[in-house]
Structure 1
Amino acid sequence: MARLNPFGIVLALIALAIPAAAEDVPRIKLEKVVQLDKPVEVRHDPAGRLFMVEQTGRALMFENGKVVEEPYLDLSEKVYVAFECGLLGIAFHPKFQSNGLLYASYTTGQLKPGEKEPAVRSVVSEFKVDPKARRVDLATERVVFTLDQPFPNHNGGQIQFGPDGLMYFGFGDGGKGNDTLNAGQDPATWLGKILRIDPTPDPVAKTAYTVPKDNPFVGKEGWKPEIWALGQRNPWRFSFDRQTGDLWAADVGQDIWEEVNLIVKGGNYGWRIREGSHDLWPATPTTTPLIDPVFEYYHDRRAASITGGYVYRGKKIPALQGWYVCGDYSYGTLFGFKYDGKKLSGSGVIVNPQTADRAAGQRPTQPSGFGEDIDGELYMCDINGWVYRIVAP
């Protein structure tokens, strides 16, 4: 099977057996901010207002050091919450200050007669809101995109607007294990992909969104034109580097390897042919070359499920400048790496939950998401309740 590594080298990091010198890994501290109900994301609008998203269905405004009591967005009566389902992300349109468009990614579920698990549907919706308003009117909802999920896990759920002003969002391979549908490599499904659309309705095609003409597979027979990148198992969290525009996606592994990929137009990141950079089912058919992860680590007693983060571009932690920070959902370990455009210039464990100070609030349990404020300072969500601010030690 052909492999493509645009960075010139195959890069692997073995969890907690780090080749980089210890002094190369910046030190940080986790500062408790607020305790919520299953927080999964921190976002800000173009004006700088900060919002925190709960998997259970609410997006809450955070100001003056506390959460505003009335929810900014409350979908708790609509979302199905179980496994990896719920309210999974929000995103403000780049022109939110003038058009007032807010987007939410969530799941719905309906239990059919005789079935033990509900039929799950992923939904991306648009809401119209006054940019200065403190609450979203649910009556303004316009459904932009839906996808019926075969299983209630591997839903993805991240929404991000890129530097090009277009919407990127991702879905996992459909769930269960082993990608039995071969969704990651199937060009005829949105499952196992990162998609790119313009959420503006297309009056000609009579669709709720428009497919950008420069998407890599537009007009290619058998391919969904919304596909931007393929070969994903579950891109639970991805983000754009606000300085370089690079798209970084963490893909949750199956049995052995967790990975972070630099997503490029039309890129194929290997699942289910490979897990990370390692062959899994190499006989799986594909028509595009495979791209190696920039960063990966293996499962042991301290790692098992990656949660993607952000490249730090704030000013308060100079040593962390340019480092990508992510976490492991199963054990709480925070990893970091620095990429110079060709190779890793540093990598390692930034917070080890086995040695972190519990009393000081520096011991994460299950990192479920990250976020940044308008100044580029980072936050981390722990599914067990706390939202942390990442600060200098």
Structure 2
Amino acid sequence: RVSKDNPAVADPASEEEIIRIPQPFWNHNGGTIAFGPDGYLYIALGDGGSGNDPMGNGQNLTTLLGSILRIDVDHKDAGLNYAIPKDNPFIGREVPAGPRGKMLPARAEIYAYGVRNIWRMSFDSASGLLWAADVGQNLWEEINIIQKGGNYGWNVREGKHWFRPDGNDAPRPELIDPVFEYAHDIGKSITGGTVYRGTAVPELVGRYLYADYVTGRLWALDYDVTAAKVKANYSLTGENLPVMSFGSDEKGEVYFTTPFGSLYRFKSDK
């Protein structure tokens, strides 16, 4: 627990394990947690790692891997250190996941699924929309706006493009396209950011800030939510800044970090 009077003070004895999720491989273990405007905790989990999602976790609703979870950490259900919100989309649903298509219960914690390795997600403080950046495998990096119950395609697709290692390219109209993607000739490991709602840089207001860890580039995505289309994608720097994470303060100003121990913030050059 953190002191309500001083956020720099915490009580280490108050630590409590909320949930433990076994991981089959060393990578794609989890990319972010965030509290939503509804007060629930959202947890982004990768597909469990290795390559190609060999266990098919991204499309398997009976496992927590490859999903975004939504849980209530202020209450506890029987046998759990958290409660499951009553309006989670997969409560009571069964899916064919067992031997010979046996129906098994979907995990009620799941809010959305079909993700590979979300590396940072955040809520827009103005609209409440949940933005998530999903690191690609071979060819594409993607940005998604997460919808309740949404299937974001992995490992059927990478970005908007068919990926299936088994070659099955049957139509899947339920899969949700990313709002933006870029190929690996531009960058190879997306770092998700946040929608800028500060005042220090007026020209960035309402734009989604993100970066690529490998190329060290930063961008501001101008996306029209109503029209569901990208208006522009502005490059902010040509410097090699391998951004690991973004954050924002109570005034909406945005900061980011690199592996070199520096903390940066956005400011106007006007």
TM-score by shorter chain over 0.5? yes
- Aligned positions of 1:141-152 closer than 5 A: 141-152=15-26
- Deviation of 1:270 after TM superposition, in Å, equals 0.3
Residue by residue over 1:148-190, the C-alpha shift from the partner in whole angstroms, topping out at 9 and shown as x without a partner, is 1111211223111111111101110011111001110011111
- Work out whether 1:350 is the aligned partner of 2:252: no
The answer as to whether partners of 1:312 and 1:321 remain within 8 angstroms in 2 is: yes
Residue by residue over 1:8-67, the C-alpha shift from the partner in whole angstroms, topping out at 9 and shown as x without a partner, is xxxxxxxxxxxxxxxxxxxxxxxxxxxxxxxxxxxxxxxxxxxxxxxxxxxxxxxxxxxx
C-alpha spacing 1:285/1:266, structure 2 compared with 1 (3 Å) = farther
- Aligned positions of 1:1-393 closer than 5 A: 128-133=1-6, 134-203=8-77, 205-221=78-94, 222-281=105-164, 283=168, 289-300=174-185, 302-341=186-225, 342-353=227-238, 363-393=239-269
Q: Distance in 1 between matches of 2:192 and 2:34?
A: 13
- Deviation of 1:228 after TM superposition, in Å, equals 0.3
C-alpha spacing 1:138/1:316, structure 2 compared with 1 (3 Å) = same
Q: Distance in 2 between matches of 1:247 and 1:162?
A: 8
The answer as to whether partners of 2:31 and 2:117 remain within 8 angstroms in 1 is: no
Q: Distance in 2 between matches of 1:200 and 1:267?
A: 25
Q: Distance in 2 between matches of 1:307 and 1:143?
A: 27
- Deviation of 1:285 after TM superposition, in Å, equals 9.2
Structure with bigger RCO (C-alpha 8 Å, 6+ apart): 1
Q: Distance in 1 between matches of 2:169 and 2:132?
A: 23
Residue of structure 2 equivalent to 1:52 = none
Q: Distance in 2 between matches of 1:306 and 1:178?
A: 18
Q: Distance in 2 between matches of 1:191 and 1:286?
A: 24
- Deviation of 1:322 after TM superposition, in Å, equals 0.7
- Deviation of 1:197 after TM superposition, in Å, equals 0.4
Q: Distance in 1 between matches of 2:80 and 2:169?
A: 33
Local SS of the residue matching 1:147: coil
Q: Distance in 2 between matches of 1:292 and 1:157?
A: 20
Local SS of the residue matching 2:241: coil
Instruction: Indicate the percent of aligned positions where both proteins have the same amino acid.
Output: 47
The answer as to whether partners of 1:364 and 1:382 remain within 8 angstroms in 2 is: no
Residue of structure 2 equivalent to 1:112 = none
Question: What's the TM-score, normalizing by structure 2?
Answer: 0.89
Residue of structure 2 equivalent to 1:36 = none
The answer as to whether partners of 2:220 and 2:236 remain within 8 angstroms in 1 is: no
Residue by residue over 1:326-360, the C-alpha shift from the partner in whole angstroms, topping out at 9 and shown as x without a partner, is 0001111112212222233522242343xxxxxxx
Higher strand share: 1
Q: Distance in 1 between matches of 2:123 and 2:72?
A: 17
- Deviation of 1:199 after TM superposition, in Å, equals 0.8
Question: What's the TM-score, normalizing by structure 1?
Answer: 0.62
Q: Distance in 2 between matches of 1:168 and 1:286?
A: 30
- Letter aligned with residue 168 of structure 2: A
- Deviation of 1:316 after TM superposition, in Å, equals 1.5
Q: Distance in 2 between matches of 1:243 and 1:148?
A: 35
Q: Distance in 2 between matches of 1:250 and 1:226?
A: 21
Long gaps (5+) in structure 1: 1-127, 354-362
